[in-house]
Amino acid sequence: MRHESIKTVKTDNQFGGRIGRTVADSTPAWPASRERKRAQPNVITIVLDDVGFGQLGCYGSSIATPAIDDLAAHGARFSNFHATALCSPTRAALLTGRNHHSVGVGFLADFDSGFPGYRGAVDPETPMLSERLKKEGYGTYAVGKWHLAPPTDLSPAGPFGQWPTGRGFDRFYGFLGGEEDQWAPELWEDQHYAPLPDDPDYHLSADLVDRAQQYLSDHVSVAPERPFYMHLAFGAGHAPHHAPRQYIERYRGAFDHGWDVERERVLARQLELGIVPPGTELPEPNPGVARWADLSAEQQRLYARMQEVFAAFIEYTDVQIGRLIDFLRTYQLLDNTVIVLMSDNGASGEGGAHGSANEYRYFLGVEDSFEDSLAMINELGGPYTHNHYPSGWAQAGNTPLRMYKKYNYAGGVRVPMIVRYPARVRDSDVVRQQFQHITDVVPTLLDLLGLDARDFAPDKAPHGRSFVDVLEDPAAAPSARTQYFETAGYRGIVKDGWKAVARHEPGTDYDNDQWELFAIADDFAEVHDLAGTHPAVVEELVAEWWTQAETHDVLPLDDRMQTRVETRNTGMERAIYRLLPGVRLPNGASAPGFGDREFTLTVNLQDLGERENGVLVAYGRRAAGFVLFFDDGRATFVLNRAGDRTVVAADRPADPGTRQVRLELTRTDKGACARLCYDEQVVAEAALPSLMPAGFGCLSLQVGYNSPSPVSDLYRAPARFTGTIHDVVIEFSAPVTGMSPQAWELLLRTE
User: Beta partners for 663?
Assistant: 601, 676
Catalytic residue chosen out of the listed positions 58, 82, 87, 677 = 87
CA distance 268 to 71: 22
CA distance 402 to 395: 7
| Helix orientation angle between 297-330 and 66-73, rounded to the nearest 10 degrees | 50
Helix, strand, coil abundance in the chain, percent, nearest 5: 25, 25, 50
Of the candidates 350, 162, 121, which has an alpha carbon nearest to the alpha carbon of residue 239?
Answer: 350
Q: Count Cβ atoms below 10 Å from residue 419 Cβ, excluding itself.
A: 27
The CA dihedral of 13, 15, 21, 23, to the nearest 10 degrees, is 140
CA distance 345 to 415: 6
* CB 418 within 8 Å of CB 426: no
Catalytic residue chosen out of the listed positions 147, 219, 354, 437 = 147
Of the candidates 569, 534, 606, 570, which has an alpha carbon nearest to the alpha carbon of residue 697?
Answer: 569
Q: Is 74 a catalytic residue?
A: no
CA distance 264 to 341: 26
User: Beta partners for 674?
Assistant: 665, 686
Helix (H) / strand (E) containing 671: strand 671-678
Q: Is 241 a catalytic residue?
A: no
DSSP for 256-303? TT-HHHHHHHHHHHHHHHTSS-TT--PPPPPTTPPPGGGS-HHHHHHH
Q: How far is CA 212 from CA 88, 177, 178, 180, in A?
A: 22, 19, 20, 18
- Give the CA angle between residues 500, 502, 508 to the nearest 5°: 165
Instruction: Give me the active site residues, please.
Output: 87, 147
